[in-house]
Amino acid sequence: MLSDSPRLEVVQGDLTPYRDGNIGVEYVHRFESGRPGPHVLINALTHGNEICGMVAARHLLDQGVRPLVGTLTVSFAHVEAYNAFDATQPFENRQIVHNLNRIWSDEWLDGPEDSPELRRARALRPVVAAADHILDLHSTSQDVLPFWVYPAYARNAALALAIGRPAVHLVMPQGLGSGTPLIQHGRHGVDDGPAGAAVVAECGQHFLQATADMAVAVTLDFLGHFGLIEREPQPAPAPQRRFELLQTRMVKTPEFRFVRPLVGFEVFAKDEVIATDGDEEIRSPCEDCTVLMPARVPIVGREGVYLTRPL
């Protein structure tokens, strides 16, 4: 059952002290070790209400984490949406106009349209382009298992498997199908090239302390993997479960409805009806079709559900 009053366990902190940054882009902080090594970007708040990344980014800055090798950049992406938070409507400040995580193509960034998201993406463009490896921290509207999301490039899979937490992977062989996410901007959207790993970590339900804790842990794992910090040996990873994205079904009409309440990871048989969208039936394309990120409230023009199969 949907709840418009979820548990708000994480405090919405004031980010004003982090505004100035140190590279001429607001809310972006860069630290160079002076020693050879990769440039790693930790990106938070791609969506304004996905606050676990804010906790992880503040942890790095407040604890004075500095890279032993290479370069560390910490970014608060969509602070304008974050500042629009309303505790009585905690799901509503995901974005202001555009989805900041679907506009990272040259068509959008070089195009004529304007919005808070496009202005911010254009400002962050050189920040994202400069990074060798990217961790983009996200969360989910429903309280489901954390999971990785990444293009089906060997470098991304190798990273996620090596870190081992989260233990679930959403692998995208053809991208999201609904726009270009930050982790596929420029060279990171090409399989064969000089790019490093670029992944999303969906850390759990937006407002839970456990989600913030997961974001901090994954961030430290990520930095430790690339040698930017010393990281104590972690427990053996849980068995890994991987899912391949088959279809991204967009909401076409106000009549979009799931056949039953879904939160994610429900399994459907081949040809079973998952949802209806006006006169259209959305059916499972395969046996053991697993749905991920079903829309909490379907909105025309936005993603309704991801249809996947286990790998």
Domain range summary for the chain, segments of one domain joined by +? 16-225, 244-310
In three-state secondary structure terms, 193 is: coil
16-225 maps to CATH 1.10.150.170: no
- The DSSP string of 16-67 is GGGSS-SSSSTTEEEEE-SSS--EEEEEE-SSTT-THHHHHHHHHHHTT---
For the record, the structure tokens of 48 come out as 């304004």
Average pLDDT over residues 270-274: 98
Beta pairing partners, 26: none
pLDDT of residue 193: 79
Cβ atoms of 230 and 158 within 8 Å: the answer is no
pLDDT at 1 over 50: no
Beta pairing partners, 29: 74
Average pLDDT over residues 275-282: 98
Instruction: Say how far apart CA 282 and CA 266 lie, in whole Å.
Output: 15
Average pLDDT over residues 260-280: 98
For the record, the structure tokens of 199 come out as 């992944």
Instruction: Say how far apart CA 247 and CA 172 lie, in whole Å.
Output: 10
Average pLDDT over residues 292-308: 97
Place of tokens 């490093």: 196
Average pLDDT over residues 113-135: 98
Place of tokens 């199908």: 177
pLDDT at 5 over 80: no
Q: Where are the alpha helices (DSSP H) in 168-302?
A: 209-225
> In the sheet where 28-32 sits, what is the strand order?
28-32, 71-76, 39-44, 133-140, 198-205, 147-151, 168-172, 241-250, 303-310, 289-292, 267-268
Cβ atoms of 284 and 269 within 8 Å: the answer is yes
Give the gyration radius of the chain's Cα atoms.
Answer: 19
Cβ atoms of 149 and 202 within 8 Å: the answer is yes
Beta pairing partners, 73: 30, 41
Burial of 240 (C-beta count, 10 Å sphere; 0-12/13-18/19+): middle
Per-residue model confidence as pLDDT tens digits over 40-92: 999 999 999 999 999 999 999 999 999 999 999 999 999 999 999 999 999 99
42: how many CB neighbours lie within 10 A of its CB? 28
For the record, the structure tokens of 187 come out as 């060279």
Per-residue model confidence as pLDDT tens digits over 215-264: 999 999 999 999 999 998 878 788 999 999 999 999 999 999 999 999 99
Q: Of 261, 260, 268, give the one whose Cα is nearest residue 308.
A: 268
**Domain 244-310 class?**
mainly beta
Per-residue model confidence as pLDDT tens digits over 157-210: 999 999 999 999 999 999 999 999 999 999 999 998 788 999 999 999 999 999
For the record, the structure tokens of 20 come out as 């100035």
Tell me if the bond preceding 166 is cis, omega within 30° of 0: yes
Q: Give the pTM.
A: 0.96
Average pLDDT over residues 133-138: 98
pLDDT of residue 4: 60
Instruction: Say how far apart CA 14 and CA 59 lie, in whole Å.
Output: 14
For the record, the structure tokens of 152 come out as 């089906």
Residue 135: partners with Cβ closer than 8 Å, 6 or more residues away: 40, 41, 42, 43, 199, 201, 218, 219, 222
Name the DSSP class of 280: E
pLDDT at 12 over 50: yes
